[in-house]
Amino acid sequence: MALKIWLNDKLVDEAEAKVSVFDHGLLYGDGVFEGIRVYDGRVFELDAHMRRLYEGARAIRLPMHMTREALMRAIDVTVEANGITDGYIRLLVTRGIGTLGLNPLVCDRSCIVIIADKIQLYPEELYETGMKVISATTVRNHPLAISPQVKSLNYLNNILAKIEALDNDVPEAIMYNHEGYVAEATGDNVFIVRDGVVLAPPVEAGSLEGITRAVVIKLAREEGLSVVEKNLTRYDLYVSDEFFLTGTAAEVIGIVEIDGRVVGDGRPGPITRRLRQKFYEYARRKEN
């Protein structure tokens, strides 16, 4: 069945969901986006996603022509129209139609696109056996160039690191900032465990403040685990007892090898497995 796509102010058939070649989102990657999960027919952490979207738009001076309430209703309409009970929403806001010049002020109106579809997850066996990653040579964008808190349509920095991962026959790469500290993976946040303590790079190191990341930190503390946000080096990853990633699509997935070095005993560790189960239960609670 063809999808129904929300385009600006209404649902259209998938074949009619088109944007102009003069849209600055296409020409320059000028815009913001969110990836959002749907569990059991409920949109997950929607308030948090809306807050990040509107803050990102404000940071790049991108006027939103829909209120949060109207956009949230549009998301619900799109999810329902496509019969999505467990799936994924891709929400994009571009600067809109302009000219071939950089000037964003010539764009009269932002363009809003909402896609609700099923999601391609990592194979279930990968959650049981764990994932292998490499360290990317592509350095994370300097935070003074563009804030990592802006989930920008220009994802080239992450894409180049993703290519490195795929060239090495692994699904993910770890990105480091200009000082050599761990920033994030190409699409997920990074955590390690040392001596029972959960450690995460601070967002100031160059990572997006992930929605799943925040939920996992909350769940870990509810479980009585100590969570510390601090700068991490490649060495810290190499000698970690456990290592896992979090993200909208990935949820919580264990890392068992980095740069050919085995993490822990070569299997997802007990804290990783525990937090994965707690997140699974939390995401599917009816009150969320």
DSSP per residue, 220-280 = HHHTT--EEE----HHHHHT-SEEEEEETTTEEEEEEEETTEEPTTSS--HHHHHHHHHHH
Residue type, 227: V
286 is catalytic: no
Dihedral of CA 10/12/17/21: which sign? Answer: negative
41: pLDDT strictly greater than 70:
yes
The percent of residues above 90 in pLDDT, for the chain, comes to 94
Q: What is the pLDDT of residue 177?
A: 97
Tell me the HSE value of 75 on the side-chain side, using a 13 A CA sphere: 27
- The crossing angle, in degrees rounded to 10, of helices 211-222 and 46-59 is 130
Whether the pLDDT of residue 288 is over 60: the answer is no
Whole-number pLDDT of residue 287: 59
Alpha-carbon separation of residue 177 from 23, 183, 224, 230, 233 (angstroms): 31, 6, 31, 14, 10
Structure-derived torsion over alpha carbons of residues 77, 79, 82, 86, reported in degrees to the nearest 10: -160
For CATH 3.20.10.10, the residue range(s) in the chain are: 124-283
Residue pLDDT, tens place only, 74-132 = 999 999 999 999 999 999 999 999 999 999 999 999 999 999 999 877 889 999 999 99
Q: Where in the chain is the domain with CATH 3.30.470.10?
A: 4-117
DSSP code for 8: T
Task: Name the band, by pLDDT with cuts 50, 70 and 90, for residue 1.
Answer: confident
Q: What is the DSSP letter of 5?
A: E
CATH superfamily name and code, 124-283:
D-amino Acid Aminotransferase, subunit A, domain 2 (3.20.10.10)
- Are 248 and 189 spatial neighbours (Cβ–Cβ below 8 Å)? no
- Which CATH topology does 4-117 take? D-amino Acid Aminotransferase; Chain A, domain 1 (3.30.470)
Helical (H) or strand (E) element with 214: helix 211-222
What is the distance between the alpha carbons of residues 288 and 284, in angstroms, rounded to a whole number?
A: 7
| Phi–psi pair at 185, nearest 5 degrees | -85, 180
Q: Rounded to an integer, what distance in angstroms lies between the CA atom of residue 221 and that of residue 226?
A: 6
Residue written as token pair 């796509």: 5
The span from the CA of 7 to the CA of 17, in Å, is: 7
Residue 280 reports pLDDT greater than 70: yes
Surface-to-core class of residue 120, CB atoms within 10 Å of its CB (0-12 exposed, 13-18 middle, 19+ buried): exposed
**Paired strand residues for 198:** 193, 227
Kindly tell me if the per-residue pLDDT of 286 is higher than 70. no
pLDDT digits (tens, 9 = 90+) for 177-219: 999 999 999 999 999 999 999 999 999 999 999 999 999 999 9
Q: Catalytic residue, from 132, 151, 162, 278: name it.
A: 151
Contact 231, 103 (CB under 8 A): no
What per-residue confidence (pLDDT) applies to 285?
83
Structure-token pair, residue 5: 């796509």
More confident residue, 287 or 126: 126
Give exposure, 179-192, as e/b (b: 16+ Cβ within 10 Å).
Answer: eebbbbbbbbbbbb
For the chain, the residue count is 288
